[in-house]
Amino acid sequence: MRALVLPAYGPASTLTVGTLPDPTAGPGEIALRMAGASINPIDWKQMSGAAARWIPLELPAVLGRDVSGTVVAVGSGVKELVVGARVMGRVRGGAFAEIAVGPAAGFVAAPAGLDLADAAALPLVLLTGAQLAEEAIDARAGESVLVTGATGNVGRVAVFAAKGRGAKVWAGVREKYVAAARELGVAGVVILDDAAAVAALPELDAIADTVGGETGGRLVAKLKVGGRYGGVVGVPAAAEAAAKEKRIAAKSILTHDDGKRLAALAQAVADGALAIPIARRFPLAEGAAAMDFAQKGAEGKVLLLGL
Ligand SMILES: NC(=O)c1ccc[n+]([C@@H]2O[C@H](COP(=O)([O-])OP(=O)(O)OC[C@H]3O[C@@H](n4cnc5c(N)ncnc54)[C@H](OP(=O)(O)O)[C@@H]3O)[C@@H](O)[C@H]2O)c1
C-alpha cells in the first residue's frame, strides 16, 4: 500500500509518500480501505518529536489517529463490524495510508447522511469535546461554563455538549474568532487576552479548557470556590495551586473510546445540529503540504483523501 511515511522526527517537509506492506487485522481489530483521514494537533506534536517523551514512535512511522473508510478485513473476535461496512473511528497511528488497522472498539458506522471521507474529521474531536464537558467538568443545567478555544475543533464540541446539558456557556477565543464564536449560540463571547473582558465575566462554575498553559491558568481565578477545571492539555500550574486554595477540582483527560456517544454526536453533525468545519481536503500524496497547512492554524479540520 501507499502511505505517508515519517522517516525521522522533523517538520512537515520530512514526510514522504512510500510503499509499505499492507497491515493485517489482529484479534479484535479491523482493517479498512481509507476514504479519509484527518489531521489533529497530536499528529504534528508526534511528527516534530515534541511528544516523543510520552508517546515514542518507532521510526519510520505512519502517523494519523482519525480515519474513515470501508472495512476490508476483520480480526478474530470482531462481531459488530463486517467486511464492506462504512465506518469511522480512531486508530493508534497509521491513518495516513491506503489501509489502516485499529481496534474495532474504536469504530462505529459512519452516518448515512455524511460523505464517507468527511466523516474522518470527526472521531477524535467529537469524543474529546464531549468527554471534556460531560466527564472532566460534568457540566450541569444552569451552571456558568467557560469553554476556551471555543471555535477550535475540540472547543466547539465542548460548547455543544455543555449546552446540551443546559449550561450557560461562554466562548473564550482570540479576537479574530469573535464573529465565529457568536455563531455557536452561546450566552457570551470573551476575548481571552483581554484582561478587562475576562474580569467582567461572572463567577464560573466550571472551565472546559482546550488551550491550557498561561491562558488556561489565568482563568482559574474566575472559578467559584469548589468550582471545576477540566483540561485536554494537562492541568496548568496555576490551576494546581488554586485547586488547593479554592477547593477547585482540576482534571486533565485523555480521550477514550465510547461508540454510543460517538455515533450520537456524528448523527448531530449529519443533522446539521453541530458544525465541524472542514478547512481543506488534500490527496494523501500531498500529505506534507496538508500537515504544514494544518499546523499553521487551518481554522477547521484538514483532511487527507484516499488514493
Ligand atoms: N487530551 C486528549 O486526549 C486530547 C485529545 C484531542 C486533542 N487534544 C488537544 O486539544 C488541543 C485542541 O485541539 P483542537 O483539535 O481543538 O485544535 P484546534 O482546532 O487548533 O483548536 C485550538 C483553538 O484554540 C485556540 N487557541 C490556542 N491558544 C490560544 C490562546 N492562548 N488564547 C485563545 N485561543 C487559543 C486556537 O487558535 P489559533 O489556531 O489561532 O492558535 C484554536 O482556535 C490540542 O492541543 C490537542 O493536542 C487533547
pLDDT band at 48 (very low <50, low <70, confident <90, very high): very high
Cα of 148 vs centre of ligand 1, distance in Å, is 9
- β-sheet bridge partners, residue 164: none
Query: Residue of the nearest CA to atom 21 in ligand 1?
Result: 152
Query: Residue of the nearest CA to atom 20 in ligand 1?
Result: 152
Rounded CA gap, 260 and 52, in Å?
A: 32
Summarize pLDDT for 12-42 with one digit per residue, the tens. Answer: 999 999 999 999 999 999 999 999 999 999 9
H-helix or E-strand spanning residue 107: strand 107-109
Q: Given ligand 1 and candidates 54, 174, 254, which is best to mutate, with the most ligand atoms within 8 Å of its CB?
A: 174
Cα of 168 vs centre of ligand 1, distance in Å, is 21
Query: Residue of the nearest CA to atom 29 in ligand 1?
Result: 211
Cα of 80 vs centre of ligand 1, distance in Å, is 33
pLDDT band at 243 (very low <50, low <70, confident <90, very high): confident
Rounded CA gap, 252 and 54, in Å?
A: 15
Average pLDDT value for the chain: 96
Cα of 282 vs centre of ligand 1, distance in Å, is 21
Summarize pLDDT for 162-186 with one digit per residue, the tens. Answer: 999 999 999 999 999 999 999 999 9
Q: Atom of ligand 1 at shortest distance to CA of 124?
A: 6
In this structure, the residues whose C-beta lies within 6 A of any atom of ligand 1 are 40-42, 124-125, 128, 149, 151-155, 173-174, 192, 210-211, 215, 232-233, 253-255, 297
Q: Given ligand 1 and candidates 184, 232, 278, which is best to mutate, with the most ligand atoms within 8 Å of its CB?
A: 232
Predicted confidence at residue 120, as pLDDT, reads 98
Please give the sequence-ordered ranges of beta strands (E in DSSP) within 232-288, or none if there are none: 249-252, 278-283
**pLDDT surpassing 80 at residue 242:** no
Rounded CA gap, 77 and 80, in Å?
A: 9
Query: Residue of the nearest CA to atom 44 in ligand 1?
Result: 41
Q: Atom of ligand 1 at shortest distance to CA of 152?
A: 21
Rounded CA gap, 31 and 105, in Å?
A: 13
Cα of 82 vs centre of ligand 1, distance in Å, is 35
Q: Atom of ligand 1 at shortest distance to CA of 301?
A: 19
| Other beta carbons less than 10 A from residue 292's beta carbon | 17
Predicted confidence at residue 238, as pLDDT, reads 82
**Cβ atoms of 79 and 67 closer than 8 Å:** no
Residue 252 in grid coordinates: 486533565
The residue to which cell 496555576 is assigned: 238
Query: Residue of the nearest CA to atom 40 in ligand 1?
Result: 297
Predicted confidence at residue 41, as pLDDT, reads 98
Cα of 205 vs centre of ligand 1, distance in Å, is 22
Summarize pLDDT for 114-149 with one digit per residue, the tens. Answer: 999 999 999 999 999 999 999 999 999 999 999 999
